[in-house]
Amino acid sequence: MDKISLVVPCYNEQDALQFFYDEVIRLISEMPALRYEFVFIDDGSQDNTLKVLKELQRKDGRIKYFSF
């Protein structure tokens, strides 16, 4: 089975990231056969977006991020 990559651009999204992640996980849990990963692209955020991404990645190995 193929893997779906959810590519998510981020710019100053510290307050929205956890909510977004939780909602996507909730929806995906209804499709147990689905293989997926998150790829977050932090485009130079000035807030704690990168810190939140690092914490999410620590908890979930399906998360990758790039920070510019």
Say how many domains are in the chain. Answer: 1
* 7 domain-assigned: no
Q: pLDDT tens for residues 45-56?
A: 999 999 999 999
* 49 domain-assigned: yes
* 28 domain-assigned: yes
Is 0.75 surpassed by the pTM of this model?
yes
* 60 domain-assigned: yes
Residue linked to tokens 């977004």: 20
CA distances, 9 to each of 14, 18, 19, 30, 67 (Å)? 12, 14, 15, 24, 10
Strand-pairing partners, residue 4, are 36
* 8 domain-assigned: no
Q: How far is CA 31 from the centre of its chain?
A: 18
Q: pLDDT tens for residues 31-46?
A: 989 999 999 999 999 9
